[in-house]
Structure 1
């Protein structure tokens, strides 16, 4: 039976990078499922509201971050590979935290970001198993590590099935 890889998609929520990875992986026939944090900003901010009205913004954020953390920790602990996206427009502190959590657990992760933010991410990239600049590069890495042949039947450069 073929292994179904669990891929956790963390980070930037303002572009379609997740959809591009999932669609390309499906088109390539990669054996994987995808998971991610809640990507609706308002829903994420309100995750803890069910526990009661917080007196101040700090406590609302604190309460919601703990509820969100149940999902994040569980999905990172259960994934085979994480992809952590850093966009150029916003600082994704949560994504950096996820990368650190992956590193602490020994979970392999791939960073996805543009070249113009290499310097601020040098420590995050140093623990990553790869740095990609496009979702398509991520999919090619996932294809390779899962041993899924490409359109020409190659599993890795110079080999065929």
Structure 2
């Protein structure tokens, strides 16, 4: 029996991990609908002042943008069957930590993806996750198992570019 999923991809926006997961979903023709935040960094930062008006104080600029982004992110996370949260290498993703807590509060299962070096810093986030992994290939393997019950050993041979 096949299970259809809506999966919200949360976290860092500076690498191609979302595209790698999308490629794997396509490669295996998985019944998965992927959603996520606005990935255009400047659009995400500037949406509040572009739409609602200029702010001289950076706090209020960020405040307006965060609230508009929250409309999209909370709506999509609320509709998701699963949330995948990526913590990247180069930036502190406070938003990703918030999304993990939000998913937990909603009772939405989530998977965390991060490097081994971040295990200690993310121990509480990891403890509430239903899976903790390191690569997009592992996320695709999880999605394949959850949607179809098919086991596969993740490897770079999935043709997902790192």
TM-score, scaled relative to structure 1: 0.89
Greater relative contact order (Cα 8 A, min sep 6): structure 1 or 2? 2
Matched residue SS, 2:91: coil
Deviation of the 1:129 alpha carbon = 0.5
Distance 2:27 2:151 in 1: 11
**Higher mean displacement: 48-57 or 12-21:** 48-57
Runs of 4+ residues over 2 Å off in structure 1: 1-4, 148-151
Deviation of the 1:14 alpha carbon = 1.2
TM-score, scaled relative to structure 2: 0.89
Distance 2:70 2:47 in 1: 10
- Across the aligned residues of Structure 1 and Structure 2, the Cα RMSD in angstroms comes to 1.5
| Residues 93-115 of structure 1, C-alpha deviations (whole Å, 9 max, x = no match) | 00000000001111000000010
Name the structure 2 match of 1:22. Answer: 22
Deviation of the 1:3 alpha carbon = 4.6
Name the structure 2 match of 1:144. Answer: 145
Deviation of the 1:64 alpha carbon = 0.6
Matched residue SS, 1:45: helix
> Using a 3 Å threshold, how does the CA distance of structure 1 residues 112 and 96 change in structure 2: closer, same or farther?
same
Name the structure 1 match of 2:159. Answer: none
Deviation of the 1:2 alpha carbon = 5.7
Distance 2:12 2:136 in 1: 13
Distance 2:11 2:137 in 1: 17
Residues paired across the two proteins, number: 151
Give the structure with higher Rg (CA). Answer: 1
Distance 1:40 1:148 in 2: 35
Structure 2 residues not aligned, in runs of 5+: 153-162
Distance 1:57 1:13 in 2: 21
Matched residue SS, 1:143: helix
Distance 1:143 1:3 in 2: 10
